[in-house]
Amino acid sequence: MKSISGYYTLEKGFCPIVFESRGRISGVWTQTLETTKVQTLKLTYEFSDFHGHLL
């Protein structure tokens, strides 16, 4: 949820600093196991006012 909280603080006029262990801000499905064959569409997990434009 770091992406969402960062987005929210930007919308409120703040300049957040996000610390992430990977090279980009992560989310629910940024990485999967090689053995994963079926996933739910990302639209199921997408917030209506957040379309990944910070990624």
* Beta-bridge partners for 47: 50
The boundaries of the domain holding residue 31 are 1-55
DSSP string, 1-55: -HHHHHHHHHHTT-------SSSS---TTS---TT------GGGT-BTTB-STT-
The reported pLDDT for the residue numbered 13 is: 93
Distance CA 28, CA 37 (A): 16
Distance CA 6, CA 54 (A): 9
pLDDT in tens, 19-52: 766 666 666 666 667 777 666 776 776 666 765 5
The reported pLDDT for the residue numbered 33 is: 72
Q: What's the number of domains the chain is made of?
A: 1
